[in-house]
Amino acid sequence: MTIVRTRKYLWFFGLLTLVISSNFLLYRLDLMQPLPSEVALGTFVDFMIIIPLLTYFFIIRKRYSLKNLLFVVFAGYGAALLIVPQGYLSSYSFVRYLLIAGEGAFFLVELYIAFKLVTKLPAIFTYYKKKESEIPAFPYRMERALTHHVKSNRFIEIVSSEMSMIYYSLFSWRKKPIIDGHVFTFHKKTSAVALYIMLIHALVLESIGFHFFLHSWNPIVAMIALVLNGYTLLFFLAEIQAIRLVPFIMTNHHLYLQVGMMKRLKVPFKEIKSVHYYQGPEKLTREETRHLFDAVLPDITKEKPSIEIEFFTSQEAKMMYGSKKIVKKVHLRPDEPDKFFDFLHSKITEQSQD
């Protein structure tokens, strides 16, 4: 499988290089001159249709959302503007307006979804409160409340991620970790929280010094960098709080695994094929991690997982901003591995007997 995927990437980058280099040389080799003005239209077709099609067939198909093609089309348009000499562009200004019209239509659709979301906020928060005792952690409850009232799509998933980040970074500091039910912490024997505190410290110092340097060069770039650093700071704070407040949780029928802000997995006990102590290597190949949900926290030195869980069928893990990953097994390192192992094993046995 790895060989096949590598071959696909080689074909993709080979064809991509061929399309870009041929168009670049076309306008710059003396032997090709003079060129008809219509050649610019061919370049736009190559960059806005051919390259997106190559991206779809070699990269996106069956793996990523078709919406990603919009970014490829816009990137292709920008690349075409850089390659085509200015004199050839005057006859094809309509291409820009077509793009603006397409982007406007897409924006209106997203605006309509946002309007529906705002009008249903009271009902969403009411539903969120009602499910507080049933669903253990904020991201699960908020996602359920949103999708109960608004059809699930990538925009809603992004909104859910943003609301989770704002909640954990700004409004969760008086909250206590979840202790009701069968919960298992996974951060107390790691340096993950200390690592994020170090990153925050470095980010604040870098933001102050780098902002003044950029401001003396370009105030707009300085403000953009400051906003991005502020967003990153909120993310690190949210990551710390999510790690602290949300342990691994076992309810009557499900295992909830949330690893900070970045990823989470909800799996029924009946879908768990086996749970055993991990005996594998410390480092896995790329192919081995392809369908793996890695619930071991990042640390100064990456620790080896203590427990491995395998599923009967593939499960869908949810990543930040609506990304998804199909997983067949889990690696994790709870603070009390024996207690976690025994309780999960008893739950699996109990479900199999029902």
28-41 pLDDT per residue, tens? 776 667 767 667 77
List pLDDT tens digits, range 300-342: 777 889 999 999 999 999 888 778 889 999 999 999 999 999 9
- The per-residue pLDDT for 103 is 59
List pLDDT tens digits, range 25-84: 777 776 667 767 667 777 777 777 888 887 877 776 656 655 667 777 777 777 777 777
pLDDT class of 94 with cuts at 50, 70, 90: low
pLDDT class of 240 with cuts at 50, 70, 90: very high
- Top-confidence residue, 12 or 305: 305
- The per-residue pLDDT for 37 is 65
Query: Is 0.75 surpassed by the pTM of this model?
Result: no
Identity of residue 247: P
Q: What percent of the chain has pLDDT over 70?
A: 80
- Top-confidence residue, 155 or 342: 342
Average pLDDT of the residues of the chain: 80
- The per-residue pLDDT for 93 is 58
